[in-house]
Structures are given as structure tokens and as C-alpha cells.
Amino acid sequence: MEPASGESRQTTLERPPGYDLVIEQPARGYRYNQDPFHLARFIAQHAEEWRTRFAGECLDLGCGVGVLALVLARIFPETRFTGIEIQPELADLARANCRRNRLEQRIQIITADYRDFSRQNSNCGRFSTVVSNPPYYPAAGGRLNHCPQKRLARHELAGDLADLARNTARLLAPKGSLLMVFPAERLFELSYLLQQHKLEPKHLKLIHPQNSDRAATLLLAARKNSAPGVIIENPLQTG
């Protein structure tokens, strides 16, 4: 971690190992964790199975500073990405990160509420894949962080899980895929809401903290208008 030039008190530069990326993020606001990297590895591991569904355009719902889109752009050089971020300061950093890593021709960052974005007719059925590392907690789920940036990133204050499912279904092309990371304790709520909008869970992997038999997060692939049936992988134990 190092201060960004001229921004020693506001942002830092990170170099996640293995991806040839430099990522600028807030020094004290919302900072990314390992979740987008777990999701990217999950996707890469099944690239052969999902390649036809991952071709074309990919949408990152709630892209933050662009970490997931940047990592996936390195893994899938033929895919074009759009990132939607409601917080202007994070969206600005995402654009800067795209330029810094020379990926601005393949990644477009839009500052918007994804619910408004999905209402535009030109976006309906546009994307072959939607990826998301959404807020984990309901609006009333626990104490809200005093930092507005963290509060909006962690709690469902700008759209809840039902909104995510509904709008993802609208944005996905027929047989398109949703790939996401989410709290394991909300698995049944997530599955129910996805199925309500014809997004069928197809591939599931649970993530356990080190020395714990209790899953903390999950990685899920769901497919639009697909038949029921899910593959459950061996869990990942993080160190």
C-alpha cells in the first residue's frame, strides 16, 4: 500500500498480486477486501463451462473502484465491461483505475443507480453476464457505519436484494448468467428471490474462514430461464 501521488491523506495505491494491476482506493472510506478476488477466481475456474455465457458484454452492478471489472478484464481479454456505481467519488476512482491500467477502451464506468439504468429500454436484455459484489446487509440489519461511503457500500440503502434480482433479470439476455458473492447466511433468501425472477441457481461454492466449519460467504452462478438443478462444490477454506 502506498499513498497516491498528491493524495497522501485521501487515497492509496494497491497492487494485488497476480493481476498486473494498480488500483487506487480511498484511504479511509470504503476499501475493497478479498471477495471480488474470490469471485474472479471462481469465474476463471469455470471459464470453459461458462465461456459462451461470458462472451459479449458483462455488467458489474455496484462496481466500487472497479476492482472486479479490472481483474476480469485481465482474465477475459475479449469481453467488454460496463460498471455501474451510484457513489460519484468511487465511480471517479474506477474511471481513473481503468485509465491507469490502460483498460478504458474495454471498461466503461457509469455513475448511476442501477435501478434507473435498467429502466432504459436499450439496456433490457443487453448483457450476457452480470457480476456483483453487492451490499451484504439489509437496511435495518445492524448498526449503520458512520462513514457514508461505507454505509452505502455495506447496507441495502439504494436497492435491496429483491431489487437486485428484478433488475438483473431485466438486464440479462436470455440464458444470461448472474455471478455473485454474498453472505452464506442469506442463501435461502437469495435463492428464493432469484427464482422469483426466473434466475435459476446453477453453481454454488461456500467459503469458510480458517479453522471454522461455518460458511461466511458464498459464490453463486445463476442462469436466466434455466431448468432447476444446482452443482454444489467442495467449500473453500480461506487462510
**Chain centroid offset of residue 114 CA:** 13
**Structural domains in the chain?**
33-237 (3.40.50.150)
What is the amino acid identity at position 191? Answer: S
Rounded Cα distance between 205 and 69, Å, is: 21
- DSSP β-ladder status, 127-132 and 172-183: parallel
Q: pLDDT per position in the chain (239 positions), as tens?
A: 555 544 445 899 999 998 999 999 998 888 888 999 999 999 999 877 765 556 789 999 999 999 999 999 999 998 999 999 999 999 999 999 999 999 999 999 999 999 999 999 888 889 999 999 987 666 566 676 666 665 565 655 567 899 999 999 999 999 999 999 999 999 999 999 999 999 999 999 999 998 888 999 999 999 999 999 999 999 998 87
Summarised one tens digit per residue, pLDDT across range 70-91 is 999 999 998 999 999 999 999 9
pTM over 0.85: yes
